[in-house]
Structure 1
Amino acid sequence: MAEHRNIFLVGPMGAGKSTIGRHIAQKLRMDFYDSDQEIERRAGVDISWIFDVEGETKFRYREEKILEDLTNKQGIVLATGGGSILSEINRNKLSSRGIVVYLQTTVEKQLMRTKKDKTRPLLQENISNKIFLESLALKRNPLYKKIADFIVQTDTKSPKIVAQYIINILEKY
Protein backbone atom coordinates (compact mmCIF):
# COMPACT_ATOMS: atom_id res chain seq x y z
CA MET A 1 0.00 0.00 0.00
CA ALA A 2 1.18 3.53 -0.76
CA GLU A 3 1.00 4.60 2.90
CA HIS A 4 4.08 2.52 3.75
CA ARG A 5 6.29 3.80 0.96
CA ASN A 6 7.94 7.14 0.56
CA ILE A 7 6.42 9.37 -2.09
CA PHE A 8 8.80 11.95 -3.54
CA LEU A 9 7.47 14.77 -5.70
CA VAL A 10 9.87 16.33 -8.19
CA GLY A 11 9.36 18.99 -10.81
CA PRO A 12 9.94 22.65 -11.54
CA MET A 13 8.92 25.56 -9.34
CA GLY A 14 5.24 26.22 -9.69
CA ALA A 15 4.34 22.63 -10.58
CA GLY A 16 2.38 22.23 -7.34
CA LYS A 17 4.71 19.91 -5.41
CA SER A 18 4.00 21.42 -1.99
CA THR A 19 0.26 21.90 -2.43
CA ILE A 20 -0.32 18.50 -4.02
CA GLY A 21 2.04 16.83 -1.54
CA ARG A 22 0.05 18.18 1.41
CA HIS A 23 -3.18 16.83 -0.10
CA ILE A 24 -1.63 13.39 -0.66
CA ALA A 25 -0.18 13.27 2.85
CA GLN A 26 -3.47 14.32 4.43
CA LYS A 27 -5.48 11.80 2.43
CA LEU A 28 -3.07 8.93 3.17
CA ARG A 29 -2.41 10.08 6.77
CA MET A 30 1.30 10.36 6.12
CA ASP A 31 3.83 12.93 7.32
CA PHE A 32 4.52 15.71 4.82
CA TYR A 33 7.85 17.44 4.33
CA ASP A 34 8.91 20.24 2.01
CA SER A 35 12.68 20.18 1.58
CA ASP A 36 12.89 23.97 1.04
CA GLN A 37 10.90 24.64 4.22
CA GLU A 38 13.07 22.17 6.11
CA ILE A 39 16.21 23.97 4.91
CA GLU A 40 14.78 27.28 6.13
CA ARG A 41 13.72 25.78 9.46
CA ARG A 42 17.14 24.28 10.15
CA ALA A 43 19.09 27.30 8.91
CA GLY A 44 16.89 29.81 10.72
CA VAL A 45 16.78 32.02 7.62
CA ASP A 46 14.93 31.99 4.33
CA ILE A 47 16.29 30.51 1.13
CA SER A 48 16.69 33.94 -0.47
CA TRP A 49 19.10 34.87 2.32
CA ILE A 50 21.09 31.65 1.83
CA PHE A 51 21.35 32.35 -1.92
CA ASP A 52 22.35 35.98 -1.34
CA VAL A 53 24.92 35.37 1.39
CA GLU A 54 26.22 31.85 0.74
CA GLY A 55 25.43 31.38 -2.94
CA GLU A 56 23.74 28.58 -4.83
CA THR A 57 26.62 26.11 -4.33
CA LYS A 58 26.31 26.22 -0.54
CA PHE A 59 22.53 26.07 -0.80
CA ARG A 60 22.82 22.89 -2.90
CA TYR A 61 25.15 21.42 -0.25
CA ARG A 62 22.54 22.13 2.45
CA GLU A 63 19.91 20.59 0.20
CA GLU A 64 21.90 17.35 -0.15
CA LYS A 65 22.17 17.06 3.64
CA ILE A 66 18.45 17.67 4.14
CA LEU A 67 17.52 15.13 1.46
CA GLU A 68 19.83 12.57 3.05
CA ASP A 69 17.90 12.95 6.31
CA LEU A 70 14.41 13.14 4.82
CA THR A 71 14.75 10.29 2.33
CA ASN A 72 15.87 8.00 5.17
CA LYS A 73 12.48 8.42 6.85
CA GLN A 74 9.76 5.86 6.19
CA GLY A 75 6.26 6.50 4.91
CA ILE A 76 6.54 10.20 4.09
CA VAL A 77 5.45 12.50 1.30
CA LEU A 78 8.28 14.84 0.28
CA ALA A 79 8.06 17.90 -1.96
CA THR A 80 11.57 18.55 -3.24
CA GLY A 81 13.05 21.81 -4.44
CA GLY A 82 12.99 22.26 -8.20
CA GLY A 83 16.78 22.08 -8.47
CA SER A 84 17.33 19.16 -6.11
CA ILE A 85 17.67 16.77 -9.07
CA LEU A 86 20.77 18.62 -10.31
CA SER A 87 22.79 16.52 -7.87
CA GLU A 88 23.38 12.93 -8.90
CA ILE A 89 23.60 12.06 -5.20
CA ASN A 90 20.08 13.43 -4.70
CA ARG A 91 18.73 11.67 -7.79
CA ASN A 92 20.11 8.35 -6.53
CA LYS A 93 18.62 8.85 -3.05
CA LEU A 94 15.23 9.77 -4.42
CA SER A 95 15.01 6.94 -6.92
CA SER A 96 16.26 4.27 -4.51
CA ARG A 97 14.32 5.28 -1.40
CA GLY A 98 10.80 5.89 -2.66
CA ILE A 99 8.36 6.34 -5.50
CA VAL A 100 9.25 9.40 -7.56
CA VAL A 101 6.40 11.35 -9.13
CA TYR A 102 7.36 14.01 -11.66
CA LEU A 103 4.81 16.84 -11.59
CA GLN A 104 5.05 18.29 -15.05
CA THR A 105 3.93 21.79 -15.98
CA THR A 106 4.45 24.28 -18.78
CA VAL A 107 6.59 27.41 -18.51
CA GLU A 108 3.44 29.48 -19.05
CA LYS A 109 1.78 27.90 -16.00
CA GLN A 110 4.98 28.37 -13.98
CA LEU A 111 4.99 32.08 -14.83
CA MET A 112 1.33 32.38 -13.87
CA ARG A 113 1.77 30.53 -10.57
CA THR A 114 4.99 32.28 -9.50
CA LYS A 115 4.49 35.86 -10.74
CA LYS A 116 3.65 37.29 -7.30
CA ASP A 117 5.98 35.04 -5.31
CA LYS A 118 8.96 37.05 -4.07
CA THR A 119 10.50 34.08 -2.23
CA ARG A 120 12.00 32.38 -5.27
CA PRO A 121 15.61 33.56 -5.50
CA LEU A 122 16.24 32.23 -9.00
CA LEU A 123 13.43 34.41 -10.37
CA GLN A 124 14.39 37.64 -8.63
CA GLU A 125 17.29 38.77 -10.77
CA ASN A 126 16.22 37.68 -14.21
CA ILE A 127 15.18 40.18 -16.84
CA SER A 128 13.10 37.61 -18.70
CA ASN A 129 11.70 34.96 -16.42
CA LYS A 130 10.19 33.15 -19.41
CA ILE A 131 13.57 32.69 -21.09
CA PHE A 132 15.14 31.76 -17.77
CA LEU A 133 12.46 29.13 -16.98
CA GLU A 134 12.78 27.73 -20.50
CA SER A 135 16.53 27.31 -20.00
CA LEU A 136 15.95 25.59 -16.64
CA ALA A 137 13.43 23.27 -18.30
CA LEU A 138 15.92 22.27 -20.99
CA LYS A 139 18.42 21.26 -18.35
CA ARG A 140 16.16 19.86 -15.65
CA ASN A 141 13.22 18.18 -17.41
CA PRO A 142 15.35 15.27 -18.69
CA LEU A 143 16.63 14.73 -15.12
CA TYR A 144 13.09 14.69 -13.69
CA LYS A 145 12.06 12.17 -16.35
CA LYS A 146 15.12 10.02 -15.74
CA ILE A 147 14.24 9.30 -12.10
CA ALA A 148 10.43 9.42 -12.31
CA ASP A 149 8.41 6.29 -11.70
CA PHE A 150 5.56 8.15 -13.37
CA ILE A 151 4.74 11.60 -14.72
CA VAL A 152 1.63 13.61 -13.93
CA GLN A 153 0.60 16.79 -15.75
CA THR A 154 -0.57 19.52 -13.33
CA ASP A 155 -1.68 22.29 -15.70
CA THR A 156 -5.39 21.63 -16.14
CA LYS A 157 -6.62 20.03 -12.91
CA SER A 158 -6.95 21.32 -9.35
CA PRO A 159 -4.34 20.20 -6.79
CA LYS A 160 -6.95 18.02 -5.02
CA ILE A 161 -7.84 16.20 -8.22
CA VAL A 162 -4.16 15.70 -9.12
CA ALA A 163 -3.48 14.39 -5.61
CA GLN A 164 -6.34 11.88 -5.87
CA TYR A 165 -5.15 10.82 -9.32
CA ILE A 166 -1.67 10.14 -7.89
CA ILE A 167 -3.15 8.18 -4.98
CA ASN A 168 -5.14 6.06 -7.45
CA ILE A 169 -1.98 5.33 -9.43
CA LEU A 170 -0.04 4.47 -6.25
CA GLU A 171 -2.70 2.01 -5.13
CA LYS A 172 -2.17 0.10 -8.38
CA TYR A 173 1.60 0.54 -8.36
Structure 2
Amino acid sequence: MSAITDLATPSAFARSPSLVWESYHYRRELMRTKEPNKAHLALAEAEKRNLFTTRCTSCGFIEENNDSPICEALRNRGLPNENGPEIAVKDLPSCRQCQSLVRPYVVWFEESVWPDVLKKIDEEITQCDLFLVVGTSAIIYPAAAYAMIVARRGIPVAE
Protein backbone atom coordinates (compact mmCIF):
# COMPACT_ATOMS: atom_id res chain seq x y z
CA MET A 1 0.00 0.00 0.00
CA SER A 2 1.27 3.47 -0.82
CA ALA A 3 2.07 5.94 1.94
CA ILE A 4 -0.50 8.67 2.50
CA THR A 5 2.15 11.23 1.52
CA ASP A 6 2.22 9.56 -1.91
CA LEU A 7 -1.56 9.36 -2.28
CA ALA A 8 -2.68 12.66 -0.74
CA THR A 9 -1.45 14.78 -3.63
CA PRO A 10 -3.06 16.43 -6.64
CA SER A 11 -0.72 14.49 -8.94
CA ALA A 12 -1.79 11.15 -7.40
CA PHE A 13 -5.45 12.13 -7.80
CA ALA A 14 -4.85 13.09 -11.43
CA ARG A 15 -2.98 9.84 -12.05
CA SER A 16 -5.42 7.53 -10.23
CA PRO A 17 -8.51 9.03 -8.63
CA SER A 18 -9.68 5.48 -8.04
CA LEU A 19 -6.69 4.61 -5.83
CA VAL A 20 -6.94 7.89 -3.90
CA TRP A 21 -10.66 7.36 -3.28
CA GLU A 22 -10.00 3.76 -2.19
CA SER A 23 -7.47 5.08 0.34
CA TYR A 24 -9.90 7.64 1.78
CA HIS A 25 -12.71 5.07 1.80
CA TYR A 26 -10.53 2.57 3.67
CA ARG A 27 -9.64 5.11 6.37
CA ARG A 28 -13.26 6.29 6.71
CA GLU A 29 -14.49 2.73 7.15
CA LEU A 30 -11.68 1.93 9.58
CA MET A 31 -12.69 4.92 11.72
CA ARG A 32 -16.27 3.64 11.85
CA THR A 33 -15.09 0.50 13.69
CA LYS A 34 -13.22 2.37 16.42
CA GLU A 35 -14.43 3.85 19.68
CA PRO A 36 -13.38 7.41 20.48
CA ASN A 37 -11.31 8.23 23.54
CA LYS A 38 -11.83 11.31 25.74
CA ALA A 39 -9.64 13.49 23.52
CA HIS A 40 -11.66 12.51 20.46
CA LEU A 41 -14.90 13.30 22.25
CA ALA A 42 -13.58 16.69 23.33
CA LEU A 43 -12.52 17.52 19.78
CA ALA A 44 -15.88 16.39 18.43
CA GLU A 45 -17.71 18.55 20.94
CA ALA A 46 -15.50 21.53 20.17
CA GLU A 47 -15.96 21.19 16.43
CA LYS A 48 -19.25 19.58 15.46
CA ARG A 49 -18.60 18.78 11.84
CA ASN A 50 -19.46 15.83 9.70
CA LEU A 51 -17.16 12.96 8.88
CA PHE A 52 -16.36 14.03 5.37
CA THR A 53 -16.50 17.01 3.04
CA THR A 54 -15.93 16.97 -0.71
CA ARG A 55 -15.04 19.67 -3.23
CA CYS A 56 -15.87 19.48 -6.93
CA THR A 57 -12.84 19.42 -9.21
CA SER A 58 -14.75 21.46 -11.83
CA CYS A 59 -17.17 23.92 -10.24
CA GLY A 60 -15.69 24.03 -6.72
CA PHE A 61 -18.98 23.11 -4.99
CA ILE A 62 -18.34 22.02 -1.40
CA GLU A 63 -20.60 19.43 0.19
CA GLU A 64 -20.72 17.43 3.41
CA ASN A 65 -21.24 13.70 2.94
CA ASN A 66 -21.67 11.06 5.65
CA ASP A 67 -22.81 8.29 3.31
CA SER A 68 -21.10 4.95 3.74
CA PRO A 69 -19.83 4.07 1.30
CA ILE A 70 -19.55 7.50 -0.28
CA CYS A 71 -20.36 5.82 -3.63
CA GLU A 72 -21.46 2.30 -4.65
CA ALA A 73 -18.18 1.56 -6.43
CA LEU A 74 -16.36 1.70 -3.07
CA ARG A 75 -18.70 -0.79 -1.35
CA ASN A 76 -16.80 -3.81 -0.03
CA ARG A 77 -13.42 -2.27 -0.84
CA GLY A 78 -10.73 -2.69 1.79
CA LEU A 79 -7.10 -1.64 1.66
CA PRO A 80 -6.31 0.32 -1.49
CA ASN A 81 -4.70 -1.96 -4.05
CA GLU A 82 -2.35 -0.33 -6.56
CA ASN A 83 -2.42 -3.50 -8.65
CA GLY A 84 -6.16 -4.05 -8.41
CA PRO A 85 -8.78 -2.99 -10.92
CA GLU A 86 -9.27 0.76 -11.32
CA ILE A 87 -12.70 2.17 -10.57
CA ALA A 88 -13.96 4.15 -13.55
CA VAL A 89 -14.06 7.90 -12.89
CA LYS A 90 -17.78 7.90 -13.77
CA ASP A 91 -18.35 5.54 -10.81
CA LEU A 92 -16.40 7.61 -8.26
CA PRO A 93 -18.06 10.29 -6.10
CA SER A 94 -19.53 13.06 -8.23
CA CYS A 95 -20.82 16.59 -7.75
CA ARG A 96 -24.54 17.01 -7.14
CA GLN A 97 -24.46 20.30 -9.05
CA CYS A 98 -22.46 19.52 -12.21
CA GLN A 99 -21.84 15.73 -12.01
CA SER A 100 -18.04 16.16 -12.29
CA LEU A 101 -15.58 14.24 -10.15
CA VAL A 102 -15.30 15.41 -6.54
CA ARG A 103 -12.27 15.03 -4.30
CA PRO A 104 -11.80 14.98 -0.55
CA TYR A 105 -11.92 18.58 0.70
CA VAL A 106 -8.53 18.45 2.35
CA VAL A 107 -5.25 20.17 1.59
CA TRP A 108 -2.94 17.62 0.04
CA PHE A 109 0.83 17.51 0.04
CA GLU A 110 2.18 19.49 -2.99
CA GLU A 111 -0.81 21.84 -2.67
CA SER A 112 -1.42 25.35 -1.37
CA VAL A 113 -4.24 26.13 1.03
CA TRP A 114 -7.20 27.70 -0.77
CA PRO A 115 -7.47 31.49 -0.29
CA ASP A 116 -10.97 31.27 1.24
CA VAL A 117 -9.65 28.83 3.85
CA LEU A 118 -6.64 31.04 4.65
CA LYS A 119 -8.93 34.02 5.15
CA LYS A 120 -11.14 32.04 7.54
CA ILE A 121 -8.09 30.82 9.50
CA ASP A 122 -6.75 34.36 9.81
CA GLU A 123 -10.10 35.47 11.23
CA GLU A 124 -10.40 32.55 13.65
CA ILE A 125 -6.90 32.67 15.15
CA THR A 126 -7.47 36.23 16.35
CA GLN A 127 -10.38 35.00 18.47
CA CYS A 128 -9.18 31.67 19.87
CA ASP A 129 -8.33 31.07 23.53
CA LEU A 130 -6.85 27.60 22.91
CA PHE A 131 -5.13 26.27 19.78
CA LEU A 132 -5.08 22.55 18.98
CA VAL A 133 -2.66 21.21 16.37
CA VAL A 134 -3.74 17.84 14.99
CA GLY A 135 -1.97 15.54 12.52
CA THR A 136 0.62 16.79 10.08
CA SER A 137 -0.42 20.38 10.79
CA ALA A 138 2.41 20.59 13.34
CA ILE A 139 5.10 20.19 10.69
CA ILE A 140 3.57 21.35 7.41
CA TYR A 141 3.43 25.05 6.53
CA PRO A 142 1.48 27.27 6.58
CA ALA A 143 -0.42 25.33 9.28
CA ALA A 144 2.65 24.98 11.50
CA ALA A 145 3.13 28.76 11.52
CA TYR A 146 -0.29 29.37 13.04
CA ALA A 147 0.72 27.67 16.28
CA MET A 148 3.68 30.04 16.62
CA ILE A 149 1.53 33.09 15.86
CA VAL A 150 -1.03 32.11 18.50
CA ALA A 151 1.63 31.15 21.07
CA ARG A 152 3.27 34.59 20.71
CA ARG A 153 -0.05 36.07 21.85
CA GLY A 154 0.15 33.94 25.00
CA ILE A 155 -2.58 31.52 23.92
CA PRO A 156 -2.04 27.86 24.99
CA VAL A 157 -1.11 25.56 22.11
CA ALA A 158 -1.65 21.79 22.39
CA GLU A 159 -0.18 19.40 19.87
Fold conserved between structures, TM > 0.5: no
Structure number with higher relative contact order (C-alpha < 8 Å, ≥ 6 residues apart) = 1
Higher-Rg member (1/2): 2
- TM-score with structure 2 setting the length: 0.29
Higher helix share: 1
- TM-score with structure 1 setting the length: 0.28
